[in-house]
Each structure stands twice: as C-alpha cells, then as structure tokens.
Amino acid sequence: MVLTGCSQCIKYMLFFFNFIFWLAGGVILGIALWLRHDAQTSNLLMLQFEGTQAPGTFYISVYVLIAVGAVMMFVGFLGCYGAIQESQCLLGTFFTCLVILFACEVAAGIWGFINRDTISTELISFYDAAYMKAVDPVESVTRQAAVKVVEVFHRTLECCGKGDDNALFLAVQAAVCPKIETDPLISQSCHTKLRDLFTEKLHVIGLAALVIAVIMVFEMIFTMVLCCAVRNAAPAY
C-alpha cells in the first residue's frame, strides 16, 4: 500500500520521533550507567559495617532506568522499521510496547515520589550508626571499623560530623576529618551533604523520566494516526 499526502507526512514524522526515541534510549542508558558507577555514590553504597551493607535503595531506581533505556532502544528500532514498512502489525506491537512502558514509568514515578526521602534517610541512619561507634572512647575492633566507614563518608562528601560537634566527636575529629584544618567546607554536616547528593541524583532521574514521558505521548499520538491511515489505505477484498 502507498500512503499519500498528509499520511505520508505523518509516516516520516513518526519515523523521526522514533529515531529521537531510540537516541533518547541510548542517552538514558548512558545516564543510568553513569549513575551506577558514579564515584561518590559507589564509594558510599559499597560500604559495610558490622556485617550490614549500606542501603542500596538508590540502585533500584538506577536499575529501572537501565532497563528503560535498553527497552527504549529496542522499541524505537521497532517503531522506525514499522513506520517505514507501513506495517500494521509492527505499529500495533510498537504501540502496545509504548503503552506498557508508559504505564511502568508512571508506576516507577509514583514509587519514586513516595520514596524520594527514603534513600538519604537510610544512608544517614547507616552513617549515624557508624558515627556513634566511631566516637566511642573505648577502643575496640568495632570502633576501628566504624572510624574507617566514617572516614570514607567524610572524604567522599567533604564533610565532617553531623553538625552537632559534641565533646566525644571533637575528641576524635582530627582522626576522622583529616582535612579539617585546610578546607573550611569540610565542617559542613554530612547529613546535609547526603541529602544534597541524592536530591541532585534524583533530579537527574526525574528529568530523564519527564523527557521520556513527553516523547512517548507524541509517539502514541502519531502511531494511532498512522495505524488509522494504513488501515484506510489497505485495499478492500
């Protein structure tokens, strides 16, 4: 079958949007891999203390983003091929994949909004547990392990303590905050730095999800219009 006029224009517009969708999938995949291997988050989330791994809730959203990026690239290719071939079957499959992907993104967005503070709160609790052991005046193996964990937080985030500066912490400050004398920024609360770090990362994920959603809406509209055009152009038997 041959599409003409406005339908032909819609066909190439759909191909163009699908190509953008495929490129966006590659960009999303790249961003997700960067977030997964980012030095700051990796240093913190790989920590262990008293047999407990640092909370990895943040990685759930990253793995979802990786899966979305990979699926977007596949679906984008399917849409490009279906648009060029003017295939109702391929376009229908593409539309179904888009709807499923859009529903998953909405569900992930709701989950992310509900749990937006969970990531930083869990890691702050993990830090506080190590902090309490690190300031313990009684020397022990657990205290030594806690000091190492706290040092990683301080070095990675360029912070020092919780901001309360109690007497116990001041006694060990020089040991766990080695750069306190040379860098004035080091005295900033680690609680604040943790919240800022993951707020920034989640904003990147949220912006990526918003871009995907906008592209998907255009994709679904053009796909429905092109499917109707292909059906109407099909010869009657």
pLDDT in tens, the chain (237 residues): 444 556 677 777 778 878 888 888 888 888 888 888 888 888 888 888 888 888 888 888 788 888 888 888 888 888 788 777 767 777 778 778 888 888 877 777 777 777 778 888 888 999 988 888 888 888 888 888 888 888 888 888 888 888 776 777 777 777 777 665 545 554 578 888 888 888 888 787 778 778 878 877 877 777 777 667 666 655 444
Q: Helices (H), strands (E): how many in the chain?
A: 8, 2
With respect to residue 12, please indicate whether it lies within any of the assigned structural domains. Answer: yes
Q: Give me the count of residues in the chain.
A: 237
pTM of structure: 0.74
Q: Is residue 1 included in any domain, yes or no?
A: no
- The answer to whether 82 and 161 are in contact (CB under 8 A) is no
Does 96 reside within a domain? Answer: yes
Q: Within a domain: residue 27?
A: yes
Does some domain include residue 80? Answer: yes
In a domain, 134, yes or no: yes
How many distinct structural domains can be found in the chain? 1
> What H or E segment, with its residue span, contains residue 221?
helix 190-233
**Separation between Cα atoms, residue 169 and residue 132, nearest integer Å:** 9
Closest CA to 127 of 42, 211, 71, 193: 193
- The whole-angstrom separation of Cα 213 and Cα 219 is 10
**Cα–Cα distance, 202 to 208 (Å, whole number):** 10
Q: Which domain holds residue 107?
A: 6-162+169-179+186-233
Whether 130 maps to a domain, the answer reads: yes
Q: Which of 165, 119, 169, 129 is nearest to 149 (CA)?
A: 129
Tokens encoding 197: 């770090």
Task: Confirm if 237 and 10 have CB atoms less than 8 A apart.
Answer: no
What count of Cα atoms within 13 Å lies in the side-chain half-sphere of residue 207?
Answer: 9
